[in-house]
């Protein structure tokens, strides 16, 4: 070490000490060994979520709590309907999509090369709500039920549930697309349909208006991929570190949500555009406590659980191997590094 270099290093240590800082090993590493881990460059990404629902609370919490920022991610979180979410991803308009596993299967069947890197909806979060005069599932025969969009999560959910209740979709019950979950709820409230799927906080609104739950999908104990995190394979291959930091953020946000009820409820109020404290409390208890009680590890079995129903819309879906579009390494890496503690 030259005399000039030694003097410069000593000055840095003295100045840091005078400022009340610890003696800076990082300065020594940079000046002497150059071994300090460089900060990653900040990545700007557009991320979509497909509905105004509490299903997407990990993304809301990561954005509002600063977790994305801490992981050097500049995330533009955009609401994009499920019918256009995957096309936007394939076109490069977004880099990551929070969307139903059904869309991932359909996209793959159509030639799109996408990867499911996390599953934040491993439990069907919906209940079947009906008008007061519908006492049993059998009473729905000849009636209509509302969904959001054809082939979306609500549609797959209703077509998964109805046969379990002894009803044949499109034969015993008419399935009516309304365009969004909000529209589906409105259709039931207005009497335009006799039933729809719902989850907190909308369930409280329906109950207050005299509607009741006929069945809970969670009671069916079916593996599913109701809400997944999807990226294109090309983006994963070119940006593994960015994808890892995003999944890290989601895992950290789930841990944050469990530890910070008030902060999570505040985020739900913002993104669901609601000041209904009771409703947001119910949404928190359901999604944080029940739907996502386990780590968001994606599995082939979860996608296979909905594949048969999705294939009714598109026979090519039968040819998709779920194992080939699932990559659980990102969530497992985050868990191995203790990010969910």
Residue range 282-321, pLDDT digits in tens: 999 999 998 999 999 999 999 999 999 999 889 999 999 9
Do 229 and 331 lie in one domain? The reply is yes
Do 54 and 114 lie in one domain? The reply is yes
Do 176 and 240 lie in one domain? The reply is no
pLDDT at 20 over 60: no
Domain count, the chain: 3
**Cβ density class 13-33: b for 16+ within 10 Å, e for less:** eeeeeeeeeeebeebeeeeee
The answer as to whether 16 is a domain residue is: yes
The structure's pTM equals 0.81
Using CA atoms, how far residue 285 sits from 30, 61, 201, 273, 280, in Å, is 47, 15, 10, 18, 9
> How far apart are the two ends of the chain, measured CA to CA in Å?
44
Distance CA 86, CA 153 (A): 13
Query: What single DSSP character describes residue 294?
Result: S
Distance CA 99, CA 321 (A): 19
Domain extent at residue 194: 127-220
Do 240 and 303 lie in one domain? The reply is yes
Do 190 and 306 lie in one domain? The reply is no
pLDDT at 89 over 70: yes
pLDDT at 135 over 50: yes
Do 62 and 196 lie in one domain? The reply is no
The answer as to whether 5 is a domain residue is: no
Q: What is the CATH number of the domain that holds 246?
A: 3.40.190.10
Do 118 and 241 lie in one domain? The reply is yes
The answer as to whether 293 is a domain residue is: yes
Q: pLDDT digits over 171-221, tens only?
A: 999 999 998 888 999 999 999 999 999 999 999 999 999 999 999 888 888
Distance CA 61, CA 265 (A): 9
Q: pLDDT digits over 236-287, tens only?
A: 999 999 999 999 999 999 999 999 999 999 999 999 999 999 999 999 999 9
Last residue of a domain, one of 166, 200, 220: 220
Both structure tokens of 185 = 């709820």
Name the band, by pLDDT with cuts 50, 70 and 90, for residue 12.
very low
Last residue of a domain, one of 167, 200, 220: 220
């Amino acid at each position: 070490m030259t005399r000039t270099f030694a003097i410069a290093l000593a000055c840095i240590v003295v100045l840091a000490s005078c400022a009340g800082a610890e003696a800076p090993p990082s300065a020594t590493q940079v000046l002497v060994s150059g071994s300090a881990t460089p900060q990653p460059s900040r990545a700007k990404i557009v991320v979509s979520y497909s509905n105004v629902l509490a299903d997407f609370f990990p993304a809301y919490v990561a954005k509002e709590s600063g977790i994305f920022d801490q992981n050097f991610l500049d995330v533009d979180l955009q609401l994009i309907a499920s019918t256009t979410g995957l096309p936007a991803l394939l076109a490069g308009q977004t880099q990551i999509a929070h969307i139903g596993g059904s869309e991932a299967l359909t996209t793959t069947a159509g030639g799109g090369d996408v990867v499911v890197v996390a599953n934040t909806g491993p439990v069907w979060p919906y209940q079947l709500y009906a008008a007061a005069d519908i006492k049993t599932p059998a009473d729905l025969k000849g009636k209509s039920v509302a969904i959001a969009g054809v082939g979306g999560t609500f549609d797959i959910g209703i077509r998964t549930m109805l046969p379990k209740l002894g009803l044949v979709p499109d034969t015993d019950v008419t399935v009516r697309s309304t365009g969004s979950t909000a529209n589906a709820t409105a259709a039931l409230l207005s009497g335009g349909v006799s039933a729809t799927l719902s989850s907190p906080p909308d369930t409280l609104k329906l109950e207050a208006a005299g509607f009741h739950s006929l069945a809970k999908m969670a009671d069916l104990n079916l593996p599913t991929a109701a809400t997944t995190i999807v990226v294109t394979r090309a983006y994963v291959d070119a940006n593994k570190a960015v994808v890892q930091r995003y999944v890290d953020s989601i895992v950290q946000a789930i841990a944050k949500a469990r530890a910070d009820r008030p902060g999570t409820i505040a985020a739900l109020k913002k993104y669901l555009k609601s000041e209904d404290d009771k409703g947001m409390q119910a949404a928190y208890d359901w999604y944080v406590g029940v739907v996502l009680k386990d780590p968001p590890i994606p599995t082939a079995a979860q996608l296979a659980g909905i594949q048969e129903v999705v294939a009714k819309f598109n026979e090519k879906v039968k040819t998709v191997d779920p194992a080939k579009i699932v990559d659980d390494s990102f969530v497992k890496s985050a868990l191995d590094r203790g990010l969910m503690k």
